[in-house]
Structure 1
Amino acid sequence: MNLEIPLITPVSLKYYNKARIAKNDTYYRALDIRLCLEKISNDLLLQFFSSDEQTKWNKLTLHDKLKKAETFMDPDIVNNIINTKIIGNNGVHEGEEANLKPEDIQHSLNSIQEFSLEIFLAYFKKFGFFHPNDSWVPVIFSTLPPIYRVKILKKYFQYDKSIHIIDKLAMALLKSNMIEESYSFIKYCLENKYLNEYEYYNFLEKLNILEEKLDKLPISQNFVDSKKNFNNLLDSIPENERDSFAILVSMILNG
């Protein structure tokens, strides 16, 4: 379990600092989890609902806010995150006496990662990958290590088989060292007429060139790389959305 890197939220930073010096570090990590779930629910999940539902949002409990995500997410993933919320509740309500085990926190972090990836997927399904008013979202998405981009793009490809998404997924596969699968994927797209022959051979050439330079490409491989790339792109994110997407990226990388 990685307790060295906090989920990014200024409010919970004090709990992270305590976790580094306190014996019961899982307690402070649980508080961190709870605060991040609240931030994501209030700033990101809210965007998926009508203006009428948004006006009632603050009256809902965190449980009910997360439960509403079942309308656009896999119910199993939502159920897992609700169980994770319970871990956070134990930390909040029972204090340092909460009987939390490191494996409880690790399971919670895994659920948070899965949930956060689904938020990106849901966002693209609702607004499209290249939404003109939010062109910065795929830019932020690109800061994630390619293995995470593969997870999201494989699911999103079922909804959008455009050449742009084929390109994003093929390149992410290659950069994840899933080289054989990247070539198989574009062949699959040709066979199913998502690509014509001209497009297919263009992709083939592009993959060949990138494969030769793979060890020289500036690819994010870990939290530190992604955090650096993310910080370099902060100016492209509307100021009122920076904290939420910073937390979202952190929640994925900390899983």
Structure 2
Amino acid sequence: MSGKRLLLLSLLAALAMAGLVVGVAFYFLRPLRAEAVAEAFLRRPGIAVREARYGLELVPEAPKALLAFYPGARVDPLAYAPVLAPVAEAGYLVVLLRVPSGIALLGKERALEAQEAHPGLPLVVGGHSLGGVAAAEVAARERLPLLLFAAYPEEDLSGIRLPTLALYGTEDGLLLKEEAQERAKRLPRGARVVFIEGLNHAGFGAYGPQARDKPAQRPREELWEEVRQEVLLFLEGLGWDTPPPPQAVL
């Protein structure tokens, strides 16, 4: 084979490899955009919507605490408005955190940036999927109440006690029920663990179907309402001076 032909084949192979890398990166890093229904929840009465350097704030008239929420990988933070905007209506300043490249692990300090902007409010950190991993790390380090959607800590936190609510779906195709039950052993002592019947992985927000997920088995409006009620029950039960340990439900 001539040197020119070999060089040409090498160049073509390099271009093909580059195209493959770009294609894979696009597939795994493409954003999961919020559906139009999510934006409608920003127009609910009693809350103001503000853009901040760390995310989108949903601000009630007289906030009693701050919930900083990390999105799942590549998920538009706005997608969680159907669940969390009503939480803001109930009196909690909710921040839908924006993180670099849509990966919460690259922006773990965003919740603390939100706290710096609202120093008078107690802080709760939460997250969905990979965002929950980031939230758990921050909660453990800062000793903060923790809210998890289809998520678990990377490290074993069973040796510490933090007020924790962990919600999972029985139809989650990315975090199967058996795996979630096993991983829940890493949660802080006294964590409340709830499996919501019929809920899938993407059903915690409004961003359309997700690869490898199962279809939800109940109307999503019903599922959103059930998630909201669990979140509000958790937040209202904290008692900001001396948070009581939630009871475990397995």
The structure showing larger relative contact order (alpha-carbon pairs under 8 Å, at least 6 residues apart) is: 1
Report TM bin, short chain: under 0.3
* TM-score (norm. length: structure 2): 0.28
* TM-score (norm. length: structure 1): 0.27
Higher relative helix content: 1
Higher relative strand content: 2
